[in-house]
Every structure is written in structure tokens, then in C-alpha cells.
Amino acid sequence: MVMLEDKDINFSKAQVKSARKKPKGKSPQQIKELLSVLLNLSLKRSYLDIETDFNGEPTLVGIYNFFDGSIYQIQKPYIKADKIHSILEDTEVVVTYNGENFDLDVLKKKVGFVLPKNIISLDLMFLCWELDLYGGLKKVEKKLNIYRDPEVEDFNGSDAIELWRRYEMGDKFSLKLLKLYNRYDVVNLAKLESKLRKMFIERENFSHPKLPSDNSNF
């Protein structure tokens, strides 16, 4: 066996960074298409995020219709495909974070909801990867200083699962916390998109579109 001494291990930080396996993102053409949607502020946006239970069943679907400021939260057992379609009736873009792999996929498998062809899917996770922002939504939020209420700022998906379990055991306050957590999920997606837009504009030297104000109550 060959033993390596410390002096034999002399990788630069750049070599170590490049050796780390990065997740597979979108193709350059797909990123270009996502950027065109990101920068097109004329499109009516809805921000969507779901919570699930231990069995992967959706327990809460949050939808923030940015164009009119309305926020909907559909709770199990009332999560139905037609209800989601109704809320998204005037929507042109559905914005998620890892929604293609999780939120939209779960809704398709569990309740039969499929995003209509006339609605564009904008998954912000892939744009975050282009800016070397990795991790879940909450991790990215912290990197970009996006605020969450202290009551739920340290919660994650596992906590959301546990909150639903406690609610099913009779703890109504857990449902209140879960809804607050989910509300921040959808509202902060809008804040994240706004920050990403500004970051790409600065990076790519795009002309700066007029940015809309945030309609949320937060």
C-alpha cells in the first residue's frame, strides 16, 4: 500500500472546485429559453409549491398569482386537478424551484394534474445553477438574504412532513405553521426570481426592464 504524505497532496482550490461533481443542468439552448421567460415581465406569473406527507402524498398546494396578488392554499383532501386548473386559469407562466422533478411531478402522479401546454414552466433551480447557487430553496434564500419569518425560517421539507403528521394527530397549531411555511415558499419564489433577474441582467449586460413591485403582504 502506498501511503501519501501531506506534501504529496497539493491540489489548488481551483482544482478541487472543478473536480466536484455538479448536478446536470439544462442545455445552453434551454437556458436561453428560460432566460427569455425570466426577462419577459409581460407574462402573467403564478408561483407554485407543494408540501407532502411521509408517503409522498401532497398535503398542501400553495399558489401565488402575482398578477393579482392572490394566494391560494389547497389542503388535503381537497387537492384536485380541476381545482388547480381553475386557480391557474389566467396564468401564462408557472414558476417553481425544482418543480419539474418534484412539485409538478408529484401533482401529476398523485392527483393527475398536468400543466397545460399554453402555460410555460419556469424552474428557477436551473437558473440558480447557472449562477453557482446550489442547494434547496431555503439554502439559496439564505445566500441571497431573502427573509422568512423567524417562526419558520429554519424549517425544511422534513419539518413540513412532521407538521402535517402532528396536525393529523390533532395539533391545529402545526397546520397553522405549515401554512405559514408554505406561504413563504410561494412568496419567496417571486423574490428569488426578481433577484435572479437582476443578477442575470448585470452578468449579461441585458437592457434593464422595468421591474414590478412585489404585491405580497410580506
Tell whether 46 is covered by a domain.
yes
Tell whether 114 is covered by a domain.
yes
Tell whether 2 is covered by a domain.
no
Tell whether 216 is covered by a domain.
no
* CATH number reported for the structural domain that contains residue 185 in this entry: 3.30.420.10
Tell whether 174 is covered by a domain.
yes
pLDDT of residue 116: 97
Tens of pLDDT, residue by residue, the chain (218 residues): 333 343 333 434 443 344 345 567 889 999 999 999 999 999 999 999 999 999 999 999 999 999 999 999 999 999 999 999 999 999 999 999 999 999 999 999 999 999 999 999 999 999 999 999 999 999 999 999 999 999 999 999 999 999 999 999 999 999 999 999 999 999 999 999 999 999 999 987 765 555 455 555 55
Q: Please count the structural domains in the chain.
A: 1
pLDDT of residue 203: 86
pTM: 0.85
Tell whether 212 is covered by a domain.
no
pLDDT of residue 21: 53
Full residue range of the structural domain in which residue 112 is found = 26-201
Long-range contacts of 115-121 (CB under 8 A, 24+ apart): 116/85, 116/88, 118/92, 119/88, 119/91, 119/92, 119/93, 119/94, 120/37, 120/43, 120/92, 120/93, 120/94, 121/93, 121/94, 121/96
Tell whether 184 is covered by a domain.
yes
pLDDT of residue 215: 54
Tell whether 87 is covered by a domain.
yes
